[in-house]
Structure 1
Amino acid sequence: MSPLSIDLPSRLLRNLEQWRNAAHWRIAFSGGLDSTVLLHLLADLAKTESLPALSAIHIHHGLQTAADAWPQHCQAVCDALGVPLLVERVKVQPGASLERAARDARYAVFSAQTLANDVLLTGQHRDDQAETLLFRLLRGAGVRGLSGMPQQRPVGQGTLIRPLLDVTRAELERYAQAHSLSWIEDPSNQDRQFSRNYLRHQVMPALRERWPQAQANMARSAAHLRDAQGLLDELAQMDLAQAGTAHDFEWLGLPSLTLAPLSGLSAARQRNALRHWLEPLTRLPDTDHWSGWDDLCHAAGDASPIWRLADGELHRSAGRLWWLSGNWLRTPVIGGEWQAPTSALRLPDNGRVMLTGQAPAGPLRIAYRQGGEVMRLADRGHRDLKRLLNERAVPAFVRGRLPLLFRGAELLAVANLSGLDGDGRDGWKLHWQPTDEDQGLS
């Protein structure tokens, strides 16, 4: 048996040391070489080491006839090792990239199954890392993309770990052969129409022939770039700290930044900070699409520009940047009277409103601003609602969805705006919760 194969268990254990106190280790088990070796290694280590509970999960994509037999194979392997297996069948959405669609479907299941303090283990190795670097380089990726696959990242409520990134495929093959393991050979892995397969079968062998250490060197470059990305992240956090000031509309519950500190940075630092801030909110734009940020940033001071991204919109209003997604992008519709003002009223695509204190005499209704509304203030007489909203610097995207309380044609209150939200003498106020309590933002 190869010394490298003998050393593999101790290397794996060392790579997983900081997660030994996790509640559960679940192996993403495709049945291929990588995950088969990972599963066997962990099941074997569990005999002599105190490890978290082990289980495996197999995703059946249903994309090819041969795959119908794979759940049975995976079940047999897990039964022999005494590891529980969960088989999940998914529907892959058709689209331009079948690879990406399959990955999205797979990781949706992984996210749902990975609970708090759980670890999901995947079998990507050093050769995969080199392919990833080359693939992303050819697509024009930046530092973050070229840093390759991270050893760990959040998934669901837990953490995804890739403990074999310092192991070559050749080492995995030697281990599998030494332990007489059998694994699935996915026929689609030979289809060179897929970009990764083309790189694996056509490009990487030619590179290795000329530069035998090509994959090791590429993996090392990815590690250097991860360090560089770490420094860029630290810089972004410093810049965002300057822009993350408190404001009068915290109750909106929206991600928001003050524009001025960002606009004073160089263009490269602006993009770096924005990438860091947007990453958990949306798929990031490519280089050409960043012109939308320039347009938003340099628009006239009285404008309310919008930058539309893959999963939402970035608005500029009242000197701030606001991230809008989900119901915030839908036009709210309201109809009918507020029949029971003593109870909260749910607003389609706009949260809910409620009255505190003794409700004014009715009949009452909730409506949205149409233009031309006038409100009577005890100390100021009649005032245009538009001017009142301007005085309070209400963001433009909020104005059309602020709930207004009417009695007949009389505007009684504007939700959540101090001085406009109720009657101080009678002690009632109109409160708006922009999103339902069980409805998170993207």
Structure 2
Amino acid sequence: MRGYAAILVRLKELSFQEGWALQYSLENLIDNALAHHVPGRVVWVALSGGLDSSLLLSVAAPLARRRGIDLRAIHVNHGLQASASDFETYCRELCGSMAVSLVVAHVSVSPAGQGVEASARDARYQAFSHHLSAGDRLWLAQHADDQAETLMLAALRGSGVRGLAGMPVVRQWRGISIERPWLSLGRSALAREAQRRELAWCEDPTNAEVRFDRNYLRHRVLAPLRQRWPHAVEALARSADHLQEADELLGELAEIDLAEAGSDPGCLRLSTLRGLRSSRRRLLIRHALERLGLPMPPETRLFELERQLSAAAPDRQPLLYWAGGEARIWRHHLYLMAPLFPVDPGWQVAWDGVSSLETPWARYSYELRPLQGGTTSPLCVSLRQGGERLRLAGRGTRDLKRLLQEAGIPPWQRDRLPLVWCGDELVAVLGVLSAQGWNQAPYVSVSPAAS
């Protein structure tokens, strides 16, 4: 009996040590993350009310308060289930008990075309972008089990290295730093710590519904895998880490090729593209699209684009569309861009020559003044109709169409360039040319107009 009692005492000691080590590990991860905080910014915890995010908030709140860091929580109520109001109530009570400011965002989910899970995620991120400011940090409580599921889902979709790399620990999104401080920890470790703290949380009833892909993997695939390979989740998460390293190296390689192709992701030299092997060429195109914030084309469209790069004759202007993007080839360059929507050729507007010019498709920031000063007739801005002529210093009056060709303006941009008139005289093409006796400030920027 003495030996048995000694064993029990030793087991309790080990259990206490394991619990203390786990508590220290969790708090240490959070405290290290807070140590790199920029003063004046806000740390937000995405609080669903489940075990993972509730534990994250309960660990982070006192540590942030100790460091004088403004920590808040945001709860997104999707309204997709009857228990949604219970989750919201719990989040309010939890934040109230810890004196943490809470924002509740009510969103509507429209699953048309992409399913409930993807639509809910999009609505959630829209809420984040609405309530968080640039420079803020958003903490998500995703863990190693989530990473393993993400990798497997990506593999089943046939994703490449970027998809298989799963979720990064940190990424920038619309000026917000999205961080996952617990991505190295398994859910079982979080559950043990939550029980040790006697933490309450809400169980999402949909977590057991295997009709959702992620839940099916969790209950029907990963659970049996753990029985055969107890460390399956950790191994898959490590694989995702290795793939993230590979993705970073590929990104560096693509940046080298982008510099060689002219450094402009929207305008790549064909000579550079044609000099790369096929896989490296596709890597550069995908990297350029990512830099531009454009969606990736389906593989079939990407391969067709490659074919056009090799086969396009100098006098041809191939155009390829895909959802959210398009590619054009012109004058030995590949142009990548968002789809151009039609413009009204009869559009016109009065302009004072000083304020930013707002158009339905872009915002132009220029100043346009006569060189001799003095008053001028009101300026009017319109689009090309054909036959316009511009009087240039030292060159006389020239056909505008020919001048735009000489300036290297792509054909699809020529019909949406703002033409500025003073009375019946064409005095400028904004960002391109000025008439004799007129001066426009150097090109500043052309950015999408606010919607």
Alignment partners' CA distance in 1, 2:439 and 2:62: 68
Q: Is structure 2 residue 83 aligned with structure 1 residue 63?
A: no
Alignment partners' CA distance in 2, 1:29 and 1:210: 34
Give the C-alpha shift of residue 138 in structure 1: 0.5
Once the two structures are superposed, the pairs formed by residues 3-402 of structure 1 within 5 Å of their partners are 3-16=17-30, 17-22=32-37, 23-46=41-64, 49-50=66-67, 52-95=69-112, 96-245=114-263, 255-280=266-291, 281-298=293-310, 299-325=312-338, 328-335=340-347, 338=350, 346-352=358-364, 355-357=368-370, 358=373, 365-375=380-390, 383-402=398-417
Give the C-alpha shift of residue 258 in structure 1: 3.1
Kindly provide the CA deviation profile for residues 368-400 of structure 1, in whole angstroms up to 9, marking residues without a partner as x.
Answer: 233444556575566443332222222122111
- Is contact 1:334–1:366 with CA below 8 Å preserved after alignment? no
Q: Cα RMSD (Å) of the superposition? A: 3.1
Identity %: 39
Q: Secondary structure at the match of 1:329?
A: coil
- Is contact 1:334–1:348 with CA below 8 Å preserved after alignment? no
- Is contact 1:147–1:223 with CA below 8 Å preserved after alignment? yes
Report the more deviating stretch, 342-351 or 312-321.
342-351
Unmatched segments (≥5 aa) in structure 1:
247-253
- Is contact 2:295–2:325 with CA below 8 Å preserved after alignment? no
Alignment partners' CA distance in 1, 2:218 and 2:235: 16
- Is contact 1:296–1:306 with CA below 8 Å preserved after alignment? no
Alignment partners' CA distance in 2, 1:159 and 1:350: 28
Unmatched segments (≥5 aa) in structure 2:
1-14
Give the C-alpha shift of residue 356 in structure 1: 1.2
Kindly provide the CA deviation profile for residues 177-220 of structure 1, in whole angstroms up to 9, marking residues without a partner as x.
Answer: 22211211111112211111111111111212222221111111
- Is contact 1:122–1:161 with CA below 8 Å preserved after alignment? yes
When the two structures are superposed, what TM-score results if normalisation uses the length of structure 2? 0.83
- Is contact 1:369–1:404 with CA below 8 Å preserved after alignment? yes
Give the C-alpha shift of residue 439 in structure 1: 3.8
- Is contact 1:255–1:322 with CA below 8 Å preserved after alignment? yes
Alignment partners' CA distance in 1, 2:34 and 2:393: 63
Q: Secondary structure at the match of 2:67?
A: coil
When the two structures are superposed, what TM-score results if normalisation uses the length of structure 1? 0.85
Kindly provide the CA deviation profile for residues 333-370 of structure 1, in whole angstroms up to 9, marking residues without a partner as x.
Answer: 44457486687754333435763115897686533233
- Is contact 2:358–2:449 with CA below 8 Å preserved after alignment? no
| C-alpha distance 31-302 of structure 1, shift in aligned 2 (>3 A) | same
- Is contact 2:426–2:435 with CA below 8 Å preserved after alignment? no
Give the C-alpha shift of residue 241 in structure 1: 1.4
Alignment partners' CA distance in 2, 1:46 and 1:342: 48
- Per the alignment, residue 8 of structure 2 pairs with none
| C-alpha distance 347-51 of structure 1, shift in aligned 2 (>3 A) | closer
Alignment partners' CA distance in 2, 1:5 and 1:286: 48
Kindly provide the CA deviation profile for residues 295-336 of structure 1, in whole angstroms up to 9, marking residues without a partner as x.
Answer: 45232222233333433333333433334337x534254445
Q: Which amino acid aligns with 1:303?
A: R
Q: Which amino acid aligns with 2:186?
A: T
Q: Secondary structure at the match of 1:279?
A: helix
- Per the alignment, residue 434 of structure 2 pairs with 421
Alignment partners' CA distance in 2, 1:166 and 1:344: 49
Alignment partners' CA distance in 1, 2:295 and 2:349: 41
- Is contact 1:115–1:158 with CA below 8 Å preserved after alignment? yes
Alignment partners' CA distance in 2, 1:175 and 1:140: 36
